[in-house]
Every structure is written in C-alpha cells, then in structure tokens.
Amino acid sequence: MPGLKIQQRIKYQEDLDPDFPDQVAAMPGAADLNRCIQCGTCSATCPISIYMDMTPRQVVAMTRAGFKKEVLQSNTIWLCASCYSCTAECPKKIKITDIMYALKRLAIQEGVYPKRLPTPVLAREFFRKVRSTGRSNEGQIATAMILKTNPFKLLKQIPLGLKLLLRGRMSLFTEKMSGDRHQLQELLDSMDKPTDTAKQQATA
C-alpha cells in the first residue's frame, strides 16, 4: 500500500554487533557479564524496573546477544538509580550496577543516548566542565542541560536562578583549580579506556 511504513521488529544476525559483549565485558566491573543465568532476580529487586523499557535482566541478555543499538538507546541505563540492590542480590555476584555505568559510558562515547533525556546530557555536561576547568559549576551545567533538553524550561527557572545567585548558593564564575589541570585531563581520559586487567578478565 503506498505510504504504508512497516517497522521491522524481527532482528536478524546481521543487525547484531558480535563485538559488543566483549567491548562491555572489557570495561571496569563488567567482566562477569557472561556468568548470568537469566534468573531475573535483578529485575525483581530493582525499584525502577517498572519504568524501564528493558529490565536489568533483559539488558544483560541483550548485551550478551550483541544488541548494541537497542541497549545503548534504551532509557534503562539512564533511569538506573545506582541503588546496588540488583548487585547485592545477584546469585552469580554480577556487578549489574557497574554494567549500567559501563553502558552509560559507551552510550556517551558513541553519542547514541536519548538526546532529550536530562540524565545523560547532565552527565556529559558535568564531565565536560570538570575536564576543561577541573571544577564543577552547578549554574553553568544546569543551564547547558536545560538548553539542550528543554530550552523553554529555562524561562521558568530564571526566578529560582536569581534567588540562588543573590543568596550566594550559585555562582556565574568557575573557581580555578589548584594543581595540574592537564594531569586531571589525562586521568579522566584514561578512564574511558578499558584497563588491561578488565581486558584480560573479559577474554579469560
């Protein structure tokens, strides 16, 4: 029928990324990914799972199967509140919270996070600010986040921003860090690369 668009729901082998499981497993804390027995305890214990588009158990299964695009674009990794409940209860001692962090880092590195979701934008802006100046600045970071997610909200936030400025709770200026900023940048950049230990654990 002309104009009818059929959305492909079935995934084929060629849609998968076979390197994705190893890529994730090589990141800090994610090496035990392949020990998952799909018991679902993590999903049952997660207080946020009802709001997620994939449960934690599904995230682990989809990652192991190579569904890179689907996993990195899911809202699950950004809704995760890092409460560690899943990690504490997992019978295979898999660090699911760390896997969520690994997936967040990959999503940001590859620029495939949901663009209007405040959490990844906030994380990215925070990282940028700290990397470039060595300091955080709540006002600048919040402004950048609102402009990139919902610019109309900025107007509503102006009275609150002014109050915070007048009471000295927020500043327009960023303090200078003492110490070597380039060393900090090298340290932060190195965190984006898988460690040798994590690579060895992933291939073991």
DSSP label at residue 178: S
- Nearer to ligand SF4 by Cβ, of 48 and 170: the residue is 48
Options 12-20, 43-51, 134-142, 152-160: segment touching ligand SF4 (CB under 6 A): 43-51
Q: Which of 53, 81, 154, 162 binds ligand SF4 (CB under 6 A)?
A: 81
Cα–Cα distance for residue pair 8/139, rounded to 1 Å: 43
Least CB distance to ligand SF4 at residue 91 (A): 6
- Residue 51 sits in the site that holds ligand SF4 (CB under 6 A): no
Say whether residue 39 binds ligand SF4 (CB under 6 A): yes
Distance CA 37, CA 25 (A): 16
- In the block, tokens 């940001």 appear at 108
132, containing H or E segment: helix 118-133
Q: How far is the CB of 27 from ligand SF4 (least distance, A)?
A: 16
Residues contacting 64, CB < 8 A, separation 6+ = 21, 33, 34, 36
Q: How far is the CB of 79 from ligand SF4 (least distance, A)?
A: 7
Q: Which amino acid is at 113?
A: Y
User: What is the pattern of x (binds ligand SF4, CB under 6 A) and - over residues 88-127?
Assistant: --xxx-x-xx--x---------------------------
